[in-house]
Structure 1
Amino acid sequence: MPDNQHIQSSPYSQIPAGIVSLADYETHALPMLRTDIREYIDSGVADEITLRRNRSAFEQIGISPSLLQDFRQASTTTRLLGYPLAHPLLLAPVAHQRLVHTDGELATVRGAAALDTPMIVSTLASYRLEDIAASGHPNLWFQLYWQHNRENSLALVKRAEACGYQALVITLDAPVNGLRNRTQRSGFHLPAGVIEANLQGQPHPAPRPLDAHASVILNGFMVDAPTLADLQWLQANTRLPVLVKGVINPADALRFKELGMAGVIVSNHGGRTLDGLPSTIEVIAACRQAVGPDFPLLLDSGIRRGTDVFKALALGANAILIGRPQLHALTVAGALGVAHMLKLLRDELEITMALAGTPTLADIGPQSLLNLASPQTFAAFQPSL
């Protein structure tokens, strides 16, 4: 059995009474983690401009409530890819969860199931996708990082199909890792025993021979990055609906719709790939405008409050992915923490809907928001592309 010496045991036998928000989970979790692991989880790339913008952009958006609304048929239910959801929340793919808890993804999936929340399982999970599926959670998705060649990539997808995963998410915005300077300075390394369980036994490609003037990145790593032809080939060889994750440019969102993808996830990888990107909340309206009203459009990066979820829905998202907060909650209280974190976010969304005068998700729209940078509603606000 892998060792757990890097994991500091939680001092809590139950959820601490002081945890009433996602930020509280972060405050409790960080001192419990080894310094380099803490930096790996919470740092962004380079100067962390995108990381900060993911939060600050939400603060520029206000809520414009509508009073005296009829709540007799109020609901947070929706449908996504044909499946009913109790609320528009999903757990984003997060790698290496045994960094923070012995049970890793096996605990996270229990917490997700308790709150009827879909979980997107990372290629780089600490446990095999088959073991996670054995939990019985009925709505698991599989996130694919392209594996240097078609055969290895498709083998992972076929494993996901075989054990009942409902959708495939391919991440396209990280063909190489961004330089996360805080993580580099901390000397982060995966502890002994924390493995990428789904990739065990997979052959590693031999280093590509390069001449003296070639770039290891541009002429080496990027040569093996997926192409449009690879994406179309993958789509043709799986029965799962395929969503593309990592979209920021509205033109890309439209292109993937036209290619027949099942949906797009607007994401800047939580500020962990390319610095200087806009926040996702700044581009979601333009992406919605590009793809029209009926194409599935999800958003991640920076969500910490129910008001954030509300704002994203108002600007065009169908549902929201939660990333880092699941690790904070998992660190503090395992499966119970993940379930509680999701309940906090769900309750905050419901309270926001109640006070904003929006009984259903369909009632949330641009008219529900104010652009705090200028005195106008988002219903009249034309986003700059």
Structure 2
Amino acid sequence: MSSKSLTVLPPGLLTAADYERLAPQFLDAGTLAYLNGGSGAEITLRDNLAAFARHRILPRLLRDCGGGSTALSLLGRPFHHPLLLAPVAFQQLAHPDGERATARAAAATDTGLVLSTLSSVTLEAVAAETPGEKWFQLYFQPDRAATADLVRRAEAAGYGALMVTLDTPVQPAGERATRAGFVMPASVRAANLTGYAPPPRRVLNAGGSLLFQGVMADAPGWKDLEWLLGLTRLPVVVKGVAHPDDAARMKALGVAGLVVSNHGGRALDGMPSALDLLPAIRCAVGADYPLLLDGGVRSGRDAFIALAMGANAVMIGRPQLHALAVAGALGVAHLLRLLRQELELCMALAGCATVYAIGPEALHSPQL
């Protein structure tokens, strides 16, 4: 759990990396390993960061950016900038106020918030903290009645979209957290799920697989996604898309948008970085279909690169937890301001007055 966070920001907090550097002073080693770690050998976790480092931005001269703006529209809703707070679970691990503090920071910085099903604060309590744009990230529950109730609660609380995560029907163990001895504190729980009965325990036949006949037997399929689309009046965004064929099928099914993601390196280890997956998925869904990206975004520069490669917006995951641990809502709000300033600087120097002007031509592609 987090020790007492700062109420006044010290000098020298200039980037997301500065918050990451300070976070170990506010988090115990086990919690830090859980928050920062990935699955397996963390190949994909490292690749998420390395992918952004490979790209360079081309400056342009004499461009008129005097009326520039980071504003955009997503799912028909206005956003002040293309930086959204990703749905990160159990935020009370980082700060006692958890998702409440994150929501207050979102409200103070005109930032879109996506709340996790596994929030340590109820979705209703979080909604009360921000009048701004907020979406609810949904995990299918083994009981359809529980899933439907979560959807109804999100609708009633004013969430503007559902973001259903489909890339972790099995959650791989995090080796870094396991080696550090991390155990979820009893005081931190999935607050949104406390009223639902636990799923019945499956009895395996002799020779049955705990994975295939156990966990995967309850994993959602295409019929479940179709059911969800028919259940709700909210637009449904699917998170965790990595294959162009899946992307094209989901678009045809009526999914409102997609998040290109590898769960921040916490899903299948060894899969490509989210950024490297983005161009093929953009090609599969066409130019005007909403695409978001998460995984490895650590700066406004990274956000610019993702937009240039086909994303409409990006989501910020681990950096929000570092800032939350260091300085609560103040830290998250400050982090978001820094990221937006970095993005604006890239736009100005690359001659892109709006986010819609950011395209592949803004990046330098050396001849190999």
**TM superposition score normalised by structure 1:** 0.94
Report the residue type matching 1:375 in the other structure: Q
Is contact 1:149–1:224 with CA below 8 Å preserved after alignment? no
The match for 1:380 is none
Instruction: List alignment gaps of at least 5 residues for structure 1.
Output: 1-5, 377-385
Q: Note if 1:367 corresponds to 2:356.
A: no
Is contact 1:109–1:132 with CA below 8 Å preserved after alignment? yes
Q: 1:292 aligns with which of 263, 277, 286?
A: 286
Q: Note if 1:122 corresponds to 2:131.
A: no
Instruction: List alignment gaps of at least 5 residues for structure 2.
Output: none
The match for 1:265 is 259
The match for 1:339 is 333
Q: Note if 1:276 corresponds to 2:270.
A: yes
Q: Give the Cα–Cα distance (whole angstroms) in 1 for the partners of residues 87 and 7 of structure 2.
A: 27
Q: Give the Cα–Cα distance (whole angstroms) in 1 for the partners of residues 199 and 81 of structure 2.
A: 42
Report the residue type matching 2:324 in the other structure: L
The match for 1:212 is 206
**CA displacement at 1:138 relative to structure 2:** 2.6
Q: Give the Cα–Cα distance (whole angstroms) in 1 for the partners of residues 81 and 106 of structure 2.
A: 12
Q: Percent identity?
A: 53
The match for 2:150 is 156
The match for 1:98 is 92
Q: 2:8 aligns with which of 10, 14, 20?
A: 14
Q: Note if 1:46 corresponds to 2:40.
A: yes
Q: 2:322 aligns with which of 304, 328, 332?
A: 328
Q: Give the Cα–Cα distance (whole angstroms) in 2 for the partners of residues 154 and 17 of structure 1.
A: 47
1:195-206 correspondence runs (5 A): 195-206=189-200
Moved more, 321-330 or 59-68: 59-68
**CA displacement at 1:201 relative to structure 2:** 2.3
**CA displacement at 1:81 relative to structure 2:** 0.8
Is contact 1:126–1:197 with CA below 8 Å preserved after alignment? yes
Cα gap change, 1:8/1:136 in structure 2, threshold over 3 Å: closer, same or farther? closer
Q: Give the Cα–Cα distance (whole angstroms) in 1 for the partners of residues 185 and 214 of structure 2.
A: 28
Cα deviation code 1:138-160 (max 9, x no counterpart) = 31100011111211111101000
Q: Note if 1:316 corresponds to 2:310.
A: yes
Moved more, 249-258 or 310-319: 249-258
Q: 1:237 aligns with which of 231, 242, 248?
A: 231
The match for 1:381 is none
Q: Give the Cα–Cα distance (whole angstroms) in 2 for the partners of residues 71 and 7 of structure 1.
A: 42
Instruction: Count matched residues.
Output: 368
Cα deviation code 1:182-234 (max 9, x no counterpart) = 11111211112111100002111221111121110111110101110011001
Q: Give the Cα–Cα distance (whole angstroms) in 2 for the partners of residues 341 and 231 of structure 1.
A: 35
Q: 1:31 aligns with which of 1, 25, 28?
A: 25
Is contact 2:71–2:78 with CA below 8 Å preserved after alignment? yes
